[in-house]
Structure 1
Amino acid sequence: MSKTLKDLTAGTAGGIAQVLVGQPFDIVKVRMQTAPKGTYNGMLDCAGGILKNEGPLAFYKGTLTPLLGIGVCVSIQFAVLERCKRYFYTQNLASGHGGPEGKLLSSSQLVLAGVFAGIGNGFVSGPVEHIRIRLQTQSNTNPTYRGPFDAIKKIYSSHGITGIFKGQNITFAREAVGYGVYFWVYEKLVQREMATKGIRREELSAGSAVIYGAAAGWALWPVIYPIDLIKSRLQTDGFSAADGQKYKSSLQCIRAVLKTGGIGEFTRGLGPAMIRSPFANGATFLGFEMANRLLNST
Structure 2
Amino acid sequence: MSQNATGDSHVRLLGAVAGMGSGLTKVAVGHGFDTIKTRMQCAAPGTYQGAFDIFKHIVRNEGPLALYKGATPPAVGWAAIDSVLLGSLHNYRLILFRQGMTEPAPQTGAPRLTLLGHGIAGLFAGCTSAVIATPVELLKVKLQLQSQRAVTERRFSGPVHCLREVIRVQGVLGLWSGFSGTVASRVNFFWMFLSFEFFMRGFSKLAGTPFEVNVGLANFLSGGFGAFSYWIMAIPADNIKNRMMAFPYPDPYPAAISKGTIQVPSFSRTAREIFAREGYTGFFRGLGPSLLRAFPVNASALFVYEGIMRVMGAEKTRQ
Q: What TM-score do the two structures reach when normalised by structure 1? A: 0.90
Distance (Å, rounded) in 2 between the aligned partners of 1:214 and 1:68: 23
Amino acid at match of 2:241: K
* TM-aligned CA deviation for residue 256 of structure 1: 1.1
Q: Which residue matches 1:30?
A: 38
* TM-aligned CA deviation for residue 195 of structure 1: 5.0
Amino acid at match of 2:269: Q
Distance (Å, rounded) in 1 between the aligned partners of 2:309 and 2:88: 15
Q: Which residue matches 2:15?
A: 7
Distance (Å, rounded) in 2 between the aligned partners of 1:4 and 1:143: 43
Q: Which residue matches 1:285?
A: 302
* TM-aligned CA deviation for residue 84 of structure 1: 1.4
Instruction: Please say if residues 89 and 98 of structure 1, whose CA atoms lie closer than 8 Å, have aligned partners that are also in contact.
Output: no
Amino acid at match of 1:183: F
Q: Deviations over 1:91-147 (max 9, x none)?
A: 33xx884445422x2232122111111011111111110010000002424211111
* TM-aligned CA deviation for residue 258 of structure 1: 1.1
Q: Deviations over 1:55-100 (max 9, x none)?
A: 11111111110011111111111111111111222233xx884445
Distance (Å, rounded) in 2 between the aligned partners of 1:270 and 1:108: 26
Q: Which residue matches 1:143?
A: 154
For the pair 1:123 / 2:128, whether they are aligned, the reply is no
Distance (Å, rounded) in 2 between the aligned partners of 1:248 and 1:44: 30
Equivalent position to 2:203, from 186, 193, 196: 193
Count of residue pairs brought into register by the alignment? 288
**SS in structure 1 opposite 2:22?**
helix
Distance (Å, rounded) in 2 between the aligned partners of 1:265 and 1:173: 17
Q: Which residue matches 2:54?
A: 46
Counting aligned pairs with the same residue, the percent is 27
Q: Which residue matches 1:296?
A: 313
For the pair 1:161 / 2:178, whether they are aligned, the reply is no
**SS in structure 1 opposite 2:70?**
coil
Q: Which residue matches 1:152?
A: 163
Equivalent position to 1:111, from 92, 110, 119: 119
Distance (Å, rounded) in 1 between the aligned partners of 2:295 and 2:26: 10
* TM-aligned CA deviation for residue 294 of structure 1: 1.9
Q: Which residue matches 1:249?
A: 266
Distance (Å, rounded) in 2 between the aligned partners of 1:82 and 1:102: 17
**SS in structure 2 opposite 1:262?**
helix
Equivalent position to 1:222, from 229, 232, 242: 232
For the pair 1:55 / 2:72, whether they are aligned, the reply is no
Distance (Å, rounded) in 2 between the aligned partners of 1:130 and 1:96: 38
For the pair 1:270 / 2:287, whether they are aligned, the reply is yes
Instruction: Please say if residues 90 and 102 of structure 1, whose CA atoms lie closer than 8 Å, have aligned partners that are also in contact.
Output: no
Instruction: Please say if residues 81 and 114 of structure 1, whose CA atoms lie closer than 8 Å, have aligned partners that are also in contact.
Output: yes
Distance (Å, rounded) in 1 between the aligned partners of 2:102 and 2:244: 47
Distance (Å, rounded) in 1 between the aligned partners of 2:311 and 2:205: 23
Distance (Å, rounded) in 2 between the aligned partners of 1:196 and 1:260: 48
Q: Which residue matches 2:6?
A: none
Amino acid at match of 2:111: G
Equivalent position to 2:244, from 234, 244, 250: 234
* TM-aligned CA deviation for residue 296 of structure 1: 2.1
**SS in structure 2 opposite 1:296?**
coil
Q: What TM-score do the two structures reach when normalised by structure 2? A: 0.84
Distance (Å, rounded) in 1 between the aligned partners of 2:281 and 2:173: 31
Distance (Å, rounded) in 2 between the aligned partners of 1:211 and 1:150: 39
Q: Which has the higher helix share?
A: 1
Distance (Å, rounded) in 2 between the aligned partners of 1:233 and 1:2: 41
Distance (Å, rounded) in 2 between the aligned partners of 1:13 and 1:175: 20
Instruction: Please say if residues 247 and 253 of structure 1, whose CA atoms lie closer than 8 Å, have aligned partners that are also in contact.
Output: no
Distance 1:49 1:246, change over 3 A: farther
Return 5+ residue gaps in structure 2 as ranges. 1-8, 255-260, 315-319
Aligned Cα root-mean-square deviation (Å): 2.3
* TM-aligned CA deviation for residue 234 of structure 1: 0.6
Q: Which residue matches 1:210?
A: 220
Distance (Å, rounded) in 1 between the aligned partners of 2:47 and 2:262: 21
Instruction: Please say if residues 170 and 250 of structure 1, whose CA atoms lie closer than 8 Å, have aligned partners that are also in contact.
Output: yes
Distance (Å, rounded) in 1 between the aligned partners of 2:270 and 2:99: 42
Distance (Å, rounded) in 1 between the aligned partners of 2:117 and 2:310: 23
Question: For structure 1, which segment, 135-144 or 118-127, has the greater mean C-alpha deviation from structure 2 after superposition?
Answer: 135-144
Instruction: Please say if residues 8 and 78 of structure 1, whose CA atoms lie closer than 8 Å, have aligned partners that are also in contact.
Output: yes
Return 5+ residue gaps in structure 1 as ranges. none
Amino acid at match of 2:122: G
Matches within 5 A, 1:163-178: 163-176=174-187, 178=188
